[in-house]
Structure 1
Amino acid sequence: MVLVFLAALCWSFGGAIARFVDVDDAWTIVFWRSLWAATFIISFMLWRDGFRGTFQSFSKMGLPGLAVAGCFAVNSTAFVIALSYTTVANILLIQAAVPLFAALIAFVALGERIAGSTWFAIVAVIAGIAVMVSDSLGGSVSLIGNGLALMIAFGFAIATVITRRCAQIPMMSATCLGTVLAGIGALTRASGLVVSSSDMMLLFAFGAINLGLGLALFVSGARLVPAASAALLSTFEPILGPIWVWFFHAEIPSVRTIAGGAMVVAALLAFLMRGLVAQARTRRRSFSEAPGAK
C-alpha cells in the first residue's frame, strides 16, 4: 500500500513540474519526457529481470500489449499538450473518472454487467464532468484542453479494459514501448530539441521520476494488494495534483472545476469502496468455506 501511495504521489507532481519548464514547444517537452521515462523504465527492468527477462517481457506483449502501448503514447502526449490549454485540476479530475469509463466501455464493447450502484456513479461522473466542461462554453477555459482531458480519460479506460481481459500483458514493457512511440512521434513534430540545463533537469524529473519511478512503484506495489485498494490509493493523484499546482504556481481552479471535480471524486470513491467491500466479503467467504476453517 505504501508503494502504491508513493506512485500516486510521484504522479501528482507532474503538472507542477511541467509548469516550471520554460519551453514553448510542447512537442519538445514530450520528446525529452519520453526519452527520460523510457531510459528509467528500461534500466529498472534490466535491474529487476536481467537482459533475458527484459527481452522476454517485450516479446510476450502481443497485439493487446501493442494496443496498450499505443493508448499510453497518445495519452502521455495529450497530457503535455493539454497543459497548454487548461488547468492541471481539469485534466486530473476528469482523468479520475477512468475506472467508471472503463466499466462503461466494458458494458458497451463486451457486454459486461454493470450493477445499479455503478450506473449511479457513472451518471454522477458524467454530471460532474459536464459541470467542469461547461466552463469551456463560456470561454473561461479552453474547449481543446477539456477535450484532450476527456480523450486521455477514455484512452486510459480502453487500456484498463484491455489489461483486465488480457492479464498476461507485461505493463512495464507496454508502457515503456508507449514512451518510445510518444518520443518518436514528438521527434517528428518538435521545432527543436535544444533546452537549457535547468529545463533539462526539470524534464528529467518529469520523465524519469514523475512517470518512470511512479510506474515502477505502482507495478511493484499493485501486485501485493487487492485491485480495488490499488485503485483507491491511486485517487491521491487527482486530489494532490491540483494542490501542488496551487501551492507552487498559484493556479486556482474555477468554481465549476472544484464543484464538478468534487462530484467526480465522490462518485469514484464510492465506486471503489464498494469494490473493496465486495472483495473483503469474498475473501471472508472463501476462508470460511476452506477445509479446516473454524
Structure 2
Amino acid sequence: MTDTASSPILASSTVPQREERIGFLLVFLSALMWSFGGTIARFITAGDSWTVIFWRSVWAAAFLICFMVWRDGWRGMLKMFRDMGLPGLAVGICFATASTAFVVALTYTTVANILLMQAGVPLLAALFAWALFRERVGAATWVAIAAVIAGGAIMVSESLDGAVSPIGDGLALLIAIMFSIATVITRRFSSVRMTPATCLGTMLAAGFAASQASTFAVSVSDMGFLFAFGVVNLGVGLAFFATGARLIPAAIAALLGTFEPILGPIWVWLIHSEVPSARTIIGGAVVVTALLVHIGLEFKRQTRPERAGVTGVPSPN
C-alpha cells in the first residue's frame, strides 16, 4: 500500500522517459523485495510466531518512520499521520491484520498458497466495491472475478479433504480480504496517505504481538533475518513502490506487481525445497492468468493522454 494508491498525483505523459524507466525499475524492485518474504521467514527458527511478528513489525515501523522523516521532515510526517483520519486508521488495521496473518499462516501452509491467493486482491476489491458502494463493474472484470474465485476454490479445496490445514487456507483468504478492503478504502477516500497508514499498521501489529508473545529473546542470526524481514522485505519494498509507482501507468505498475506472487514460490522452492501442491499450482495459475488478462485489457482501455495514478493496493507481506 502506498501514497500513490490514494494520491491525486498523476504520472502524466510529460514524465521524462528516463524518469519513467526509473519508475519501472523501482516498482519491479518493490515486487522483488516483497517476493522474498516467505523465503526469509523460513530461515527464522524462533518458535513463537508472535515474537516474529513483534520484531518484524518493530523493524518495519522504524524504517518507515526514518523514510518519511527523510522524505517529508518531522513536521510533514506528523501532519500526514494527523490527516489520515478514520480511513487511515481502518487501512492501518487492515494492514496489521494481514501482516500478522501472513506470519502465522506460514506455520500452517506453503508460501505459494499464501501469495497466489493474494494475486487476486485487485479483482476481489472490485467485487467488494460493487457490493458495498455499487461501483460499476464491467463484464470483463466480472469474468476475471469469477476466475479468481474459481482459482481460489481450487487451492482451498485441499483443506476440505484434509490434505492441508484449513487454518492456513483460512488465514491466506483473510489476508486477501484485508488487502481488498484496504484497496476499497483508499479508492473511496483519496486523502489517505498510505505510507503513514501502513506504518500505523506495523505499530498496531507490534503492540498486539507484544501482548501475546511468550518471549522477546531471539538468537543473533534470527535477529538478522528479522531485520531483513521487516526492513528489506517490507519497508524497502514499500519505499520503492511509493517512489516509482507515480512515474508509470497504473496498469504497468499492477503488472509489475504480479512478480511478487510469481517469484515468491520460486525462491522458496529453490532455497528451501518447498514444493507447492498440484492444486495450488493449478489454482494459482488460474488466478494469475485472470489478473494478467484483466490488467492487459485495462492497459488497452487507458487511451487517455493522462495516466491515472495507481488505484490498487499491492500486498507487501
TM normalised by structure 1 equals 0.95
- For residues 221-269 of structure 1, give each alpha carbon's deviation from its aligned partner in whole angstroms, at most 9, with x where no partner exists: 1111122221111100000000000011000000000001000000000
State the alpha-carbon separation in 2 of the partners of residues 93 and 117 from structure 1.
Answer: 21
The question of 1:132 aligning with 2:155 is answered yes
What is residue 256 of structure 1 aligned with on the other side?
Answer: 279
Task: Choose 1 or 2 for highest CA Rg.
Answer: 1
What is residue 88 of structure 2 aligned with on the other side?
Answer: 65
1:275: how far off?
A: 1.1
Matches within 5 A, 1:89-128: 89-128=112-151
State the alpha-carbon separation in 2 of the partners of residues 151 and 121 from structure 1.
Answer: 20
The question of 1:160 aligning with 2:183 is answered yes
Deviates most, 255-264 or 225-234: 225-234
- For the residue of structure 2 that corresponds to 1:223, the secondary structure is helix
State the alpha-carbon separation in 2 of the partners of residues 168 and 67 from structure 1.
Answer: 13
From the two aligned structures, give the one with the greater helix fraction.
Answer: 1
The question of 1:85 aligning with 2:108 is answered yes
Matches within 5 A, 1:166-205: 166-205=189-228
The question of 1:55 aligning with 2:78 is answered yes
1:139: how far off?
A: 1.4
Which of 235, 242, 250 is equivalent to 1:212?
A: 235
Residue type of the partner of 1:59? R
State the alpha-carbon separation in 2 of the partners of residues 284 and 186 from structure 1.
Answer: 44
Which of 256, 269, 272 is equivalent to 2:292?
A: 269
Q: Which runs of 4+ in 1 moved over 4 A?
A: none
State the alpha-carbon separation in 2 of the partners of residues 120 and 135 from structure 1.
Answer: 24
1:283: how far off?
A: 2.5
1:138: how far off?
A: 2.0
Which of 16, 20, 24 is equivalent to 2:39?
A: 16
- For the residue of structure 1 that corresponds to 2:162, the secondary structure is coil
Residue type of the partner of 1:75? A
What is residue 291 of structure 1 aligned with on the other side?
Answer: none
- For residues 78-126 of structure 1, give each alpha carbon's deviation from its aligned partner in whole angstroms, at most 9, with x where no partner exists: 0000000000000000011100000000000000111111111111111
Identity of aligned residues (%): 63
Which of 249, 259, 282 is equivalent to 1:226?
A: 249
Residue type of the partner of 1:44? F
1:151: how far off?
A: 0.6
State the alpha-carbon separation in 2 of the partners of residues 202 and 210 from structure 1.
Answer: 10
TM normalised by structure 2 equals 0.88
State the alpha-carbon separation in 2 of the partners of residues 180 and 55 from structure 1.
Answer: 15
1:282: how far off?
A: 2.2
Residue type of the partner of 1:92? L
State the alpha-carbon separation in 1 of the partners of residues 99 and 79 from structure 2.
Answer: 25
What is residue 292 of structure 1 aligned with on the other side?
Answer: none
What is residue 311 of structure 2 aligned with on the other side?
Answer: none
Which of 129, 134, 144 is equivalent to 2:167?
A: 144
Residue type of the partner of 1:275? E
Report the CA distance shift for 1:273/1:25 in structure 2 as closer, same or farther (over 3 A): same
The question of 1:74 aligning with 2:97 is answered yes
- For residues 144-200 of structure 1, give each alpha carbon's deviation from its aligned partner in whole angstroms, at most 9, with x where no partner exists: 101100110010000001111112211110000000000000000001000000000
- For the residue of structure 2 that corresponds to 1:283, the secondary structure is coil
The gaps in structure 2 that reach 5 residues or longer are 1-23, 308-317
1:284: how far off?
A: 8.3
State the alpha-carbon separation in 1 of the partners of residues 304 and 292 from structure 2.
Answer: 20
1:140: how far off?
A: 1.6
State the alpha-carbon separation in 2 of the partners of residues 284 and 257 from structure 1.
Answer: 39
The gaps in structure 1 that reach 5 residues or longer are 286-294
State the alpha-carbon separation in 2 of the partners of residues 189 and 137 from structure 1.
Answer: 30
State the alpha-carbon separation in 2 of the partners of residues 284 and 218 from structure 1.
Answer: 20
